[in-house]
Amino acid sequence: MSEIFLPSVTHVIAMTTIRRERILPVPGAIAVRVNEKVQAADVIAEAEINPKHYYLDIARGLGIAPGEVGRHLSRQQGERVDAGDVIAGPVGITRRTVRAPADGRIAAINNGRVLLEARGELYQMRAGFPGVIVATDGAQIVTVETTGSLVQAAWGNGKT
Task: Quote the pLDDT of residue 1.
Answer: 52
pTM: 0.65
For residue 148, is pLDDT > 60? yes
Radius of gyration of the chain (CA): 25
Are 112 and 67 within 8 A, CB to CB? Answer: yes
Topology adopted by domain 11-49+121-152? OB fold (Dihydrolipoamide Acetyltransferase, E2P) (2.40.50)
Task: Tell me whether the omega of the peptide bond preceding residue 90 falls within 30 degrees of 0, making it cis.
Answer: yes
- Burial class, 103, CB count within 10 angstroms (exposed 0-12 / middle 13-18 / buried 19+): middle
Parallel, antiparallel or unpaired: strands 37-38 and 53-57: unpaired
> What one-letter code names the amino acid at 40?
A
Task: Return the pLDDT at 123.
Answer: 95
Second CATH level (architecture) for the domain 53-118: Beta Barrel (2.40)
pLDDT-above-70 percentage for the chain:
94
